[in-house]
Amino acid sequence: MKSWQKTLFYVFILFPFLSAAQGLKIERATSPINIDGVLDEQAWNDAEVAGDFNQYFPLDTIKAIAQTEVRMAYDDEFIYVIAVMQNLGPRDYVISSLRRDFRGRAFDSFSIVLDTYKDKTNGFLFGLNPYGVQREGLISEGGNRTSRGNSSFTLTWDNKWYAEAKIYDGYWIAEMAIPFKTLRFKEDMDSWFINFYRIDSQDGERSSWSPIPRNFSILNLAFNKELHWDEAPDNPGRNISIIPYTAFSASKNFEEGTPTDTKFSLGGDAKIALSSALNLDLTVNPDFSQVEVDQQVTNLDRFEIFFPEQRQFFLENADLFAGFGSGGARPFFSRRIGIARDTATGTNISNPLYFGGRMSGNLNNKWRIGLMTVQAAEEEDIALPTTNYAVATVQNRIGARSNIAAFVVSKQAFQDSIGGSFDWNTGGGNRTVGVDLNLATSDNRLSGKGYYHLSYDGSGNTENYSTGVSLNYQTLEWQFNTDVRSIGANFNPEVGFVRRTDFNQSRATVYYNFYPSKGIIQSHAPGFDYDVLGNDTYGVTDWDINFLYRINFRNTAEFNIRLRRQYTYLFDAFDPSGTDGLELPQDSDYGYNFIIARYNSDQRKPFFFELSTRSGEYFNGGRINLEGTFSYRFMPKAITSLNFEYNRIRLPSPYNDANLFLIGPRIDITFTRNVFWTTFIQYNSQIDNMNINTRFQWRYNPVSDLFIVYSDNYFAGVDDRFIDFKRPKARALVMKLTYWFNL
The closest alpha carbon to 148, from 327, 416, 330, belongs to 327
Domains and CATH numbers, the chain: 3-229 (2.60.40.1190), 308-501 (no CATH)
Its pTM stands at 0.88
Please, are residues 218 and 199 in contact by the beta-carbon 8 Å criterion? no
CA distance 239 to 233: 15
Residue 455: pLDDT over 80: yes
**d(Cα 356, Cα 282) in Å, to the nearest integer?**
6
Task: Give the residue, 420 or 491, on which the prediction is more confident.
Answer: 491
| CA 364/CA 226 separation, integer angstroms | 19
Predicted local confidence at residue 702, as pLDDT:
87
What is the dihedral sign for C-alpha 693, 698, 702, 704?
A: negative
What's the pLDDT at 291?
46
What are 690-721's pLDDT values in tens digits? Answer: 899 999 999 999 889 999 999 998 887 655 55
Instruction: Report whether pLDDT(13) > 50.
Output: no
Q: CB–CB of 598/612 below 8 Å?
A: yes
Helices (H), 303-446: 319-322
Per-residue pLDDT tens over the stretch 519-533: 999 999 999 999 999
How do beta strands 162-168 and 171-179 pair?
antiparallel
Question: How far is Cα 194 from Cα 215, in angstroms, rounded to an integer?
Answer: 20
118 torsion bin: left (phi>0), alpha (psi -120 to 50), beta (else):
left
Return d(Cα 496, Cα 642) in angstroms, integer: 33
Q: Which amino acid is at 334?
A: S
Select from 205, 221, 222, 172 the least CA-distant residue to 54: 205
Question: Is the Cβ–Cβ distance between 184 and 276 less than 8 Å?
Answer: yes
Which residues in 225-262 are b (16+ Cβ under 10 Å) and which e? bbbbbeeebeebeebebebebebebeebbeeeeeeeee
Q: How far apart are the first and last CA of the chain?
A: 63
User: Measuring CA to CA, which residue among 188, 367, 183, 354 is closest to residue 271?
Assistant: 183
Question: CA separation (Å) from 327 to 121, 483, 510, 602?
Answer: 19, 11, 19, 30
Strand bridging mode 225-229 / 54-57: unpaired
pLDDT digits (tens, 9 = 90+) for 204-247: 999 999 999 999 999 999 999 999 999 999 888 889 999 999 99
pLDDT at 345: 57
User: Angle at Cα 425 formed by Cα 420 and Cα 426, nearest 5°?
Assistant: 40
Lowest mean pLDDT among 105-109, 160-164, 275-279, 301-305: 301-305
Find out whether 708 and 290 touch, Cβ atoms under 8 Å: no
Indicate whether 1 pLDDT > 60: no
Per-residue pLDDT at 423 exceeds 70: no
DSSP string, 283-327: EES---TTSPPPPP----SSSPPP-----GGGTTTTHHHH-SSBT
Is the pLDDT assigned to residue 558 strictly greater than 90?
Answer: yes
**What is the pLDDT at residue 721?**
56
C-beta separation of 503 from 486 below 8 A: yes
Bigger pLDDT: 175 vs 249: 175
Q: What is the torsional sign of CA 320, 325, 330, 331?
A: negative
Running DSSP on this structure, what letter comes out for residue 656? P
Write down the mean pLDDT value for the chain: 88
| pLDDT for position 413 | 86
